[in-house]
Amino acid sequence: MTLHASNAAAALLGGLHTFIEPAYIRTDPESCLNYGRDWTRLHTPNPLAVVLPGTIKEVQALAGYANTHQLALVPSGGRTGLSGAAVACQGEIVVSMERMNRILDFDPTDRSVTCEAGVITEVLQNFARDHGLYYPVDFASRGSSQIGGNIATNAGGIKVIRYGLTRDWVTGLKVVTGRGDLLYLNRGLIKNASGYDLRHLFIGSEGTLGIIVEATLKLTRPLREPNVMVLGIPSLDSIMSLYHVFRNKLELSAFEFFSERALRHVLAKGLHRPFETETPYYVLIEFENPGGLHTDTALNLFEHCAEQGWLADGVISQSEAQAQELWRLREDISESISGYQPYKNDIALRISRIPAFLNEADTLLTREYPDFEVLWYGHIGDGNLHINILKPADLDSIAFAKKCGGVSEHLFTALQQYGGSISAEHGVGLLKKPYLHYTRDETEISYLRAIKQAFDPNGILNPGKIFD
């Protein structure tokens, strides 16, 4: 029994069999549920079918079929997204890339790897490590997210301060456009001044312009003996002073922050407090420290910041295992609060504007929503904050979602005054679509529409995502 048992739907599904093996066309409720949603869990999945192509030719055939029959396709990676971009709730066909998961080529001279879109991030990271190299785009969902999805959202994560975003590592892309054409963009080149670089349009396009089928990615040398420090910070304002001095003296690969309220949720899951002193905020700093070369510098900085009253306590990792334990205090926050159906956010600001914005936003949220538990954490060194609000147990999901709509309006109005963006790394998808105008003006959005029209004239690719 399929979710769409009408004759028309059955005929459409029958047509798919002419170019995809039946085993890779799924209509059972469990597949439709799993593949039709992402980690947002806010929409009710309702795809017509889930298709798992195995070749580029099959992806092209799918695009052709969708154009002929006016079907909508939702490209699907690991579905770890947090903005609803991979959600299929309107009878679309989910195009899962999970079978296209081969690493196709590696070249140590180029320090580059070519892989299919369905390769899991962690598989690529391990592949690089096994070849003495490093793929530095990293985040907590590394074990499930796929390279194609990372590219489609221009994923950021925890090492952006040193290594940049996914965009900075993509040297080549194969995409099937909404017209069904196969484009091979930039061909793995470092330099290429031959006109418009279409590659960058597809990076961050959230599956609305084309389906990414293959990527060539740069690799780099691994971090040398990274050390992790966690520091307890008494006030928000001190964070930026601290950032300034640490960044001037050490090569930082991460500068993350989280609040005591956020920390309590990971402690409740069994992790240990990094040190006895409780402070309202914490920062996690990672830096290369081969052979302990920079230990004295780090400790001197610690002393200096303590004398200034910018930090109250701290710890520095003594082993790789301890560094990993400290990382978990930050990385596990998202997972530890997932049961509260949190209202999530991933705003971006210029780093210098963060303290003023944070103070304003904090005052605003405390005044307007005194009953909400608000957690702050994020990649503060990149100007990327995650504001998470937990659903109170006595409020039903619909009432909570409505109140959170009000939070967004308040927050994004303030953000706009600071010249920020409604999304730093999670993307717009469905969730932030109503708020896009806080970051992009109407003229700019009209250019986005024109680009969509050029690559996907019949609107078969991820309709209703980013903008209507």
Q: Where are the alpha helices (DSSP H) in 131-196?
A: 147-153, 160-163
In 90-204, where do the E strands start and end? 93-96, 103-107, 112-116, 170-177, 182-185
To ligand MLT, the closest distance from the beta carbon of 156 in angstroms equals 8
How many chain residues bind ligand MLT (CB under 6 A)? 6
To ligand MLT, the closest distance from the beta carbon of 333 in angstroms equals 6
The backbone torsions φ and ψ at residue 83, rounded to the nearest 5 degrees and listed phi first, read: -130, 5
Q: Which of 63, 115, 140, 326 binds ligand MLT (CB under 6 A)?
A: 140
For residue 391, state whether it binds ligand MLT (rule: CB under 6 A): no
Q: Which long-range contacts (CB under 8 A, 24 or more apart) does 363-366 make?
A: 364/410, 364/411, 364/414, 365/389, 365/407, 365/410, 365/411
Q: Which x/- pattern over 89-128 shows residues binding ligand MLT (rule: CB under 6 A)?
A: ----------------------------------------
Lookup: tokens for 279: 């402070």
Distance CA 27, CA 4 (A): 9
Cα 314 to chain centroid, rounded = 29
For residue 386, state whether it binds ligand MLT (rule: CB under 6 A): yes
For residue 79, state whether it binds ligand MLT (rule: CB under 6 A): no
Q: Of 66 and 347, which has the nearer Cβ to ligand MLT? A: 347
Q: Where are the alpha helices (DSSP H) in 138-235?
A: 147-153, 160-163, 199-202
Distance CA 134, CA 222 (A): 5
To ligand MLT, the closest distance from the beta carbon of 379 in angstroms equals 6
Q: Which x/- pattern over 335-374 shows residues binding ligand MLT (rule: CB under 6 A)?
A: ---------x-x----------------------------
Nearest to 248, CA basis, from 285, 291, 220: 285
Angle, CA of 466, 455 and 180, to the nearest 5°: 115
- Taking CB atoms, the residue at the shortest distance from ligand MLT is 334
To ligand MLT, the closest distance from the beta carbon of 262 in angstroms equals 10
Distance CA 422, CA 416 (A): 9
Cα 466 to chain centroid, rounded = 15
Q: Of 79 and 344, which has the nearer Cβ to ligand MLT? A: 344
Distance CA 339, CA 335 (A): 8
To ligand MLT, the closest distance from the beta carbon of 150 in angstroms equals 12
Q: Which of 205, 334, 421, 423 binds ligand MLT (CB under 6 A)?
A: 334
To ligand MLT, the closest distance from the beta carbon of 331 in angstroms equals 7
To ligand MLT, the closest distance from the beta carbon of 142 in angstroms equals 11
Q: Judging by beta carbons within 10 Å of its beta carbon (0-12, 13-18, 19+), is residue 376 exposed, middle or buried?
A: buried
To ligand MLT, the closest distance from the beta carbon of 306 in angstroms equals 28
Q: Of 140 and 211, which has the nearer Cβ to ligand MLT? A: 140
To ligand MLT, the closest distance from the beta carbon of 334 in angstroms equals 3
Q: Of 344 and 432, which has the nearer Cβ to ligand MLT? A: 344
Sign, Cα dihedral of 63, 64, 67, 69: negative
Residues that bind ligand MLT (CB under 6 A): 140, 333-334, 344, 346, 386
